[in-house]
Structure 1
């Protein structure tokens, strides 16, 4: 979980778990794969109809699997997972108590790989301001500037 995405260069386009659709926090991938299937099939089909070469078909396929908006969301999910890994078990329990005290629409959006990065950043910010100070410190300790940059408004619009 949370591993790197497959290479976008080459003739093979991964899909589903093979494409890194495994959510870095939840470990789930099936729903995201099912939602992506029509989009990816349409992109590859259109490229085939245009009689594109193998490289172009692979490029179009990869871009359909991982549109830029999904990549931006993935950056935030990966950042969040790295931050959580610095917490103790007790702090993780407290963190998730606060996480699930957010409105369901906020935390359920975080659990999808296709939620807009702007929404993820807003929800991460809400959560950050609500957790106890000791957890805030641990979340930003390794990379305070990276944390701030991740949450800057407009960065992922």
Structure 2
């Protein structure tokens, strides 16, 4: 969980857990794979009907497996994992209390790997607003994770 996405340049394009569809925080993967299956299959059919092959085919399919918005959302999820992993144990209960105080639509969007990046950020900001000051300070103590999230492409 929380590992890197597969390289775009590989000739064999993974799908599901093999493609990194495991949510970095929750470990869930099956539902996202099922939601992506039609999109990826359609891209394969379209590319093969055009005669696309080799690296060009792999790149096109990789883009269907990981559309840009999903790569960006994954960057924010990876940041969430880094920040949560670094929280002192005494702050974790309050963090999760704040998370589940969010409206259900907001926290459930965070728990999906295929949410829009703005939905992931909104959930993160909602938690930040609800936690106490010691937890806020701990959350902002991971600037490298923020830089990586901002650079996710």
Other-structure match for 2:18? 18
Offset of residue 144 of structure 1: 8.0
Q: Distance in 2 between matches of 1:142 and 1:100?
A: 22
Can you list the C-alpha shifts for 1:99-153, whole angstroms capped at 9, x where unaligned? 0011100100000011100111122112101101000101111318937x85xxx
Q: What is the TM-score normalised by the length of structure 2?
A: 0.92
Unmatched segments (≥5 aa) in structure 2: none
Q: What is the TM-score normalised by the length of structure 1?
A: 0.90
Q: Distance in 2 between matches of 1:35 and 1:142?
A: 32
Aligned-residue CA RMSD in angstroms? 1.9
Unmatched segments (≥5 aa) in structure 1: none
The count of corresponding residues between Structure 1 and Structure 2 is 151
Other-structure match for 1:126? 126
**Displaced runs of 4 or more, over 6 A:** none
Offset of residue 54 of structure 1: 1.5
Other-structure match for 2:45? 45
Greater RCO between the two (CA within 8 Å, min separation 6)? Answer: 2
Other-structure match for 2:103? 103
